[in-house]
Amino acid sequence: MSWIEVQQGPAFGFTVVGLIVVFGPLVAERLRLPGLLGLLFGGAVIGPNILDILPSFTALESIGSIGVLYLIFLAGLQLDIESFMRYRRISAGFGLMTAFIPLVLGTGVAMALGIDFTAALLIGSFWASFTLITYPTVSHYGLTRNRAVAAIVGASSITDTISLIILALIVGAETGDSGGLRLVLNIAIGLAVLAVWCFVIVPWVARWFFTGMGQERTLRFMLVLISLTSSAVVAELVGIEALIGAFFVGVGLNRVVPNASPLMMMTDFFGNAFFIPTFLVSVGLLFDPEVMFVWPTIRLAIGFAAALIVGKALAAWLSGRIFDLTRAEVGLMFSMSIAQAAATLAATIIGLETGLYGDDVVNAVMVVVAVSLVLTSIGTGRFAPQIPVPREEHRRVGEAVLVPSDVDADALREVLKLAGRLTDPVGGVIQPIVVATSTRVEAVEQAHRNQANADEILKRVGQDVETELRIDRSVAAGLNRAAIQANSSMLLLAWPGPGNARSWLLGADYSEIIAATALPVGVAALHDNPDAKGGRVVLIAQHDDLVPGNRPTLRLGIEIATMLRGRDDALILGPLPPASLIEAEIALPEHVEHRAGLADIADWVAENTEPGDLVIIPFRDIKLRPLAIKTFESGRSVLAVTHNPESQSALNGSTMTLPVGGSIAPT
């Protein structure tokens, strides 16, 4: 076989690209340059305009096209939606400024360089958008919850939409296909169709698949990948940029694929190891020094680059002044928003094919793309380490729910469903665990069987996590150590049921477990399908709950009840009136329905709840046990909650430290 035939084979092409992906960033970092530049320069060296090592490796272009979609998809998939909503004003303000300021400057510079208004407006729209090339870098630094990063991710969809509309209007007017209000209406309809696909259909299919046929992680990953590509197809069919489809479907699957899940790790690994680096190498192939470094091209490139840099810098600076951002956050916003890549190149080619300008503009845009990628990699690498990792004063209980899993299969299935309802709203993860208290062979074998059974049930309820096996001197000590090691946010225990030897609800075993941890704790006694439609969420609040030492437990009950109720459903609260809670500085959700009380709590429950309801009971002492059992036997599901953050704080502390209010051992 001749060298030319070898050079044209796919194995040679993947080998060359793989070597660049591995060694390009390493060489760049040795030269004190960002690793991203190693991928770009490596692609330029092997490309047709320098060494021409890959004369016909067409697969690289296709993989690169998927790579840029994957990049935007990961940004939506890993987006902290709560942080995004919290900083939506910054996102909207920065998005509009970083779109229109470069747009105006770019249009003005292009007209000053002798380009007519229509073509100049299209060129200005190139600089309105940006590509989140360095999102993996800020994710590596743990900044996805930072206000600047949340604003940048949201702003990217705003700028892409603005650029898309301008491109569609100009091309439609030039080609005569459509124009004016009709074109805007077509784009609006296209966005609506795409939103339904990405936010409704794909998440529903994913949840159905994960709880049915999709038990293997490889199948789940393939469904995630199909979701990405199908969203790009739907976007193109309705006349919308494929990048917007990738971002939308990432947000749509945000709750289905939690950030801490193994499926997310696989998705992130595959993208950062293959698709995204290959995309950057494919961009490098486009660089042509012969045409990029001639005066007509340089003249246009200097003007375009000035408009881009000044526009993005001014937008970031204004956002910093308006929203009181730090210098490092402003620098990061500028660095991330300046990146131009595939979307800009695609729009440039469309304008060339439409006849709005010639090759000199295309070459100048290539220079600007190269400059923007250098600036984004250097700037992000400089400013990201200067920003402290966000630390929340109050952890959300659903971020990481630790669930002991060596209980009856039916009880475990229901408690895992409940745990899923707690983790879904915040993109959290379930942490199932089996604790063995003996190293005897038969005990360890039984623990392994419990572990395998728990993994099987987890797959059936659609959760992509693996059960941990831990051996410790006691269940309480094992769970306490596991919670600290895994940084759990809540401990959720399943009541084994009345037919079990450990049937005491909040009996001795539970007393030790609860006393050993400072985590919020829930003990769930659930009937089948606790999340069935029609079941209401009821919170019992009594005067004793307002005692300062008991308020953390009441706040926990309110937080959990708020998460579990339906979006439009009211939280049923009683017998204590809401005014008493507000007076004690305990926040309540917006919709609360108060039920005034009878003297006996059991009678109040019977009067104000129905079978199928979920009754949340803050507990303090042994009085809980009869109330909880009576409530459960009447057909209501029970979630008993407690939180005593000061009761135990060290691993070597006593595992029998009692919660505020006294013993909870059975009598």
In a domain, 650, yes or no: no
Given this model, what pLDDT does residue 597 score? 72
Smallest CA-to-CA distance from 131 within 181, 172, 184, 70 is with: 70
Distance CA 466, CA 456 (A): 9
Task: Give every strand in the sheet of 490-494, ordered side by side.
Answer: 468-471, 429-436, 400-404, 490-494, 521-525, 637-642, 614-618, 537-541, 571-575, 592-594
Residues 6 or more apart in contact with residue 72 via CB below 8 angstroms: 131, 132, 156, 243, 246, 247, 250
Given this model, what pLDDT does residue 96 score? 92
How far is residue 406 CA from its own chain's centroid? 30
Residue indicated by tokens 């190149």: 345
In a domain, 659, yes or no: no
529 shares a domain with 567: yes
Distance CA 172, CA 166 (A): 10
437 shares a domain with 328: no
448 shares a domain with 364: no
87 shares a domain with 18: yes
184 shares a domain with 126: yes
Tell me which residue range forms the domain holding 597.
400-642
In a domain, 575, yes or no: yes
- Any idea what the CATH number is for the domain that residue 417 is in? 3.40.50.12370
What domain count does the chain have?
Answer: 2
461 shares a domain with 334: no
Given this model, what pLDDT does residue 598 score? 66
- 386, 420, 439: which is the final residue of a domain? 386
Q: Which two tokens stand for residue 76?
A: 């939506």
- 327, 352, 386: which is the final residue of a domain? 386
Distance CA 517, CA 480 (A): 6
In order, the DSSP letters of 202-248 are HHHHHHHHHTTT--SHHHHHHHHHHHHHHHHHHHHHTT--HHHHHHH
Distance CA 639, CA 122 (A): 59
462 shares a domain with 356: no
In a domain, 595, yes or no: yes
Given this model, what pLDDT does residue 509 score? 63
The answer to whether 123 and 340 are in contact (CB under 8 A) is no
Q: How wide is the angle at C-alpha 263 spanned by C-alphas 258 and 530, nearest 5°? A: 50
- Any idea what the CATH number is for the domain that residue 295 is in? 1.20.1530.20
The answer to whether 647 and 513 are in contact (CB under 8 A) is no
The answer to whether 396 and 427 are in contact (CB under 8 A) is no
451 shares a domain with 356: no
Cβ atoms within 10 Å, residue 603: 11
Q: Which two tokens stand for residue 142?
A: 């743990």
493 shares a domain with 425: yes
Given this model, what pLDDT does residue 321 score? 92
Distance CA 580, CA 262 (A): 44
Under-50 pLDDT residues of the chain: 500-503, 508, 530-533, 648-667
Q: What is the model's pTM? A: 0.70
502 shares a domain with 591: yes
Given this model, what pLDDT does residue 282 score? 81
Q: Is the dihedral of CA 313, 317, 320, 322 positive or negative?
A: negative
Q: Rounded to the nearest 5°, which phi and psi values hold at 123?
A: -65, -40
In a domain, 648, yes or no: no
Distance CA 361, CA 304 (A): 10
Given this model, what pLDDT does residue 652 score? 41
In angstroms, the Cα distances linking 196 to 201, 202, 497 are: 6, 9, 42
207 shares a domain with 147: yes
Q: Is the dihedral of CA 163, 312, 369, 13 positive or negative?
A: negative
Sort strands 468-471 and 490-494 into parallel, antiparallel or unpaired. unpaired
Residue at 7: amino acid letter: Q
In a domain, 157, yes or no: yes
Burial of 110 (0-12, 13-18, 19+ CB in 10 A): buried
Given this model, what pLDDT does residue 239 score? 79
Burial of 289 (0-12, 13-18, 19+ CB in 10 A): exposed
| Interior/surface letters 58-90, b for 16+ CB within 10 angstroms, e for the rest | eebeebbbbbbbbbbbbbbbbbbeebbeebeeb
Given this model, what pLDDT does residue 533 score? 46
- 351, 386, 421: which is the final residue of a domain? 386
In a domain, 651, yes or no: no
In a domain, 662, yes or no: no
Given this model, what pLDDT does residue 32 score? 74
Given this model, what pLDDT does residue 231 score? 93
Q: What is the CA radius of gyration of the chain?
A: 29
